[in-house]
Homo-oligomer: A and B are copies of this chain.
Amino acid sequence: MSGRRSGGRRGRQLAEANDPPKRKVDYRNLRNPFPPAPAFTDDRVQAIHEAALTVLETLGIKVLLPEARRLFAAGGARVDEDSEMVFIGRDIAMAAVDSAPKVIPLRAGARHRDLELSLGSMIFQPGAGAPHATDLERGRRPGTLRDFRELVQLTQHFDALHMVPPLIEPQDVPPHLRHYAMTEAVLTQSDKLPGVYARGTPQVMDCFEMVRDFRGLSDDDFMAESHCYTIINTNSPRQIDIPMAQGLIDFSRAGQVIIVTPFTLMGAMAPITVAGALTLSHAEALAAITLTQLVRPGAPVTYGTFTSNVDMKSGAPAFGTPEQVKASLGSGQLARLLGLPWRCAAGSAANINDAQAAHETEISAWGAVLAGASIIIHSAGWIEGGLSVSYEKLITDMEMVQVFAELCAETPATDADIALEALAEIQPGGHFFGSAHTMERYETAFYAPLVADWSNFGTWTERGAIDANTRATGIWKSILGDFKPPEHGDDRLGHLTDFIARRSAEGGAPPES
């Protein structure tokens, strides 16, 4: 059993990161193994839901895009063009919930990467949307295309990460060309479901075309199922801005899945109470979902929330707090009331990958898991409340994500597992190291850690007293060093390159705001 150990600590870690494990656990299609935990009694969930419908009906939502207001009006909502306010009757909102699909197939670049999005599915994404990247070797810096590409490769490497979000912002690529570079990196370095920003119709149409052609799809095939996704944040309180409204329309028309996510920090852009913040978040989510169904009944859309609190002394956002957990649990109850798949988030406000960072991500991730979230974003690497993605934290958090994935697997309890024979064989005070029951199973019985070092203090000290963060540096460098992009035809790559060259020459597509 000690035969596999080789060389020093670093050598062993790297070997472990690269060797194909004997133990094969399918981390690709996870179903949440935990009973959902509630924050509220059922009658208070209903009260929050009713209050949100009252918000939509009587207080209204400001919708900045004229086309969206026209769609709402055509769907029966009362629209005040002067104030840009839209008042959505509860019958309209609930009809939209009824027509939204409850199970959404997601088509990736390879069939084993396809996903099914529903209540009960458990899909992990790494941290997303950060302006900065950081690692122990190169320090904290504005994100670059190289960082983005590397982080996509790390996302591709881990089976327990299921979608590729816009991890960081490649600020060295000009905004009118950035979506080409990002989509190119995601398509060529990963065969997982790509995320696309909704930054105006021209960029979105470029991205749809790139995904469609790289996947070798006809227009009809592309629109028949979701081949990419976007995240739509409302501008809380009670506002949907132009690119977000346009995204809701464009993605719904094209049948590409929309993950609706009001970002409601309690005490800042939302009421200070969990119940109040969720009332607002629920109303905004329903408004966005309603628009998608007015565009195209049956358009794939998820419910979602990102509700945490601020530090009331400084106004700074906080994550991994008990209030965030409670908001996640309450959102899960609201999602189940609607019957829709939904998105929740982990997260940390720590500035480095220290004990605070790990605790905050764990607490918020467990909150999302126990809330029954279908998609858990920011589950690895996200620090500074989203201002950086840390390469090391991505690795150390993956230990947590992989443990969640392991917990989805059944715990065998056949008579052979109960092991009465082995128990009879080993005498009192003996040990099971060499028993037949152990020998048959020892290579595959246990999860092999990604970054944890279980050596004792003396051995660990002799090997250089290397902490988890520093070990993580070795691991991500090893993964990147060995990275092989998934197979795809040269013709597709050539076509993609040509498309980007042509569109860039035509001036690209600046983001809209």
Contact A423 B271, CB 8 Å, known A330-B411, A468-B355: yes
Q: With A47-B413, A351-B453, A413-B48 given, is the CB distance from A433 to B267 under 8 Å? A: yes
A457 to chain B, nearest CB (A): 5
* Copies held by the complex: 2
**A358 close to chain B: CB less than 8 A:** yes
Stretch of A91-99, A101-109, A295-303, A315-323 lying at the B interface: A315-323
Q: In the complex, what residue of chain B is closest to A5 when comparing beta carbons? A: B313
Measured between beta carbons, the chain B residues less than 8 angstroms from A245 are none
Whether A406 sits at the interface, judged by CB under 8 Å, is: yes
**Quick check: A239 and B359 within 8 Å, CB to CB?**
no
Is A217 on the interface with B (CB-CB < 8 A)?
no
- Interface 0/1 of A416-450, CB less than 8 Å to B: 01111011101111111101011001110111010
List residues of chain B with CB within 8 A of the CB of A385: 454
Cβ-defined partner of A413 (8 Å) among B40, B356, B447: B40
Per the bound structure, the CA–CA distance linking A299 and B3 in Å amounts to 49
Q: A435 CA to B277 CA in the complex, in Å? A: 14
Task: Give the interface segment out of A54-62, A161-169, A479-487.
Answer: A54-62
Q: Does A337 reach chain B (CB closer than 8 Å)?
A: no
Cβ–Cβ contact A34 & B238, under 8 A? no
Which among A48, A280, A355, A472 has the highest number of chain B CB atoms within 10 Å?
Answer: A355
Within 8 A of B (CB), among A102-138: none
Tell me, yes or no, whether A272 is within 8 Å of chain B by CB: yes
Which residue among A276, A414, A469 has the maximum number of chain B CB atoms within 10 Å of its CB? A276
Chain B residues positioned under 8 Å from A454 (CB to CB): 311, 314, 316-318, 349, 385
A39 at the binding interface (Cβ < 8 Å)? yes
Q: Is the CB of B447 within 8 A of A275?
A: no
Residues 37-75 (chain A) with a chain B CB within 8 angstroms = 37, 39-41, 44, 47-48, 51, 54-55, 59, 61-62
A158 at the interface (CB under 8 A from B): no
Interface residues in A357-385 by Cβ distance below 8 A to B read 357-360, 362-363, 366, 370, 384-385
The CB with the most chain B CB atoms within 10 A, among A54, A321, A354, is that of A354
Interface residues of A in 1-48 (CB under 8 A from B): 1-2, 4-5, 33-37, 39-41, 44, 47-48
CA distance in complex: A5, B99 (Å): 50
Complex: A433 Cα to B270 Cα, angstroms? 9
Binds B, one of A184-192, A195-203, A395-403, A499-507: A395-403
Which residues in chain A, 459-484, are within 8 Å of chain B measured between CB atoms?
Answer: 460-461, 465, 467-469, 472
The docked-state distance in angstroms from the alpha carbon of A321 to that of B162 is 22
Q: Is A183 an interface residue (CB 8 A)?
A: no
Q: Is A415 an interface residue (CB 8 A)?
A: yes
With known contacts A33-B37, A273-B419, A275-B411, A447–B321 Cβ distance under 8 A:
yes
Is residue A326 contacting chain B, with contact meaning CB distance below 8 A? yes
Q: Which residue of B lies closest to A35 (CB)?
A: B35
Q: Which residues of B contact A428 (CB under 8 A)?
A: 61-62, 85, 235, 237-239
Q: Nearest chain B CB to A233's CB is how many angstroms away? A: 13
Contact B5 A279 (CB under 8 A): no
Contact B315 A1 (CB under 8 A): yes
Given contacts A355-B469, A400-B359, contact A455 B316 (CB under 8 A): yes
Minimal beta-carbon separation of A495 from chain B (angstroms):
41
Cβ A443 vs Cβ B312 within 8 A: yes
Among B315, B427, B445, contact of A433 (Cβ-Cβ < 8 Å)? B315
- Contact among B268, B419, B420, B456 for A431, CB-based, below 8 A: B268
CB distance from A470 to the nearest CB of B (A): 9
Q: Does A141 contact B (CB under 8 A)?
A: no
Partner of A429, one of B62, B422, B431: B62
Question: In the complex, are the beta carbons of B266 and A396 less than 8 A apart?
Answer: no
Interface hits, A221-273 → B, CB 8 Å: 235, 237-239, 266-273
List residues of chain A with CB under 8 Å of any chain B CB: 1-2, 4-5, 33-37, 39-41, 44, 47-48, 51, 54-55, 59, 61-62, 85, 140, 235, 237-239, 266-276, 279-280, 309, 311-318, 320-323, 325-326, 329-330, 349-360, 362-363, 366, 370, 384-385, 387-388, 392-393, 396-397, 399-400, 403, 406-407, 411-415, 417-420, 422-424, 426-433, 435, 437-438, 441-443, 445-447, 449, 451-457, 460-461, 465, 467-469, 472
Counting from the closest, the 10 A-B pairs by CB-CB distance are: A276-B419, A358-B358, A322-B406, A62-B428, A362-B362, A44-B413, A356-B468, A275-B417, A275-B413, A239-B428
Known contacts A273-B417, A318-B446, A359-B396, then 19 further A-B pairs from the complex at CB < 8 Å, ordered by chain A residue = A47-B418, A59-B423, A237-B428, A238-B427, A266-B445, A267-B433, A268-B432, A269-B432, A271-B435, A272-B438, A275-B417, A275-B418, A329-B411, A351-B456, A351-B461, A356-B399, A358-B358, A363-B400, A366-B366
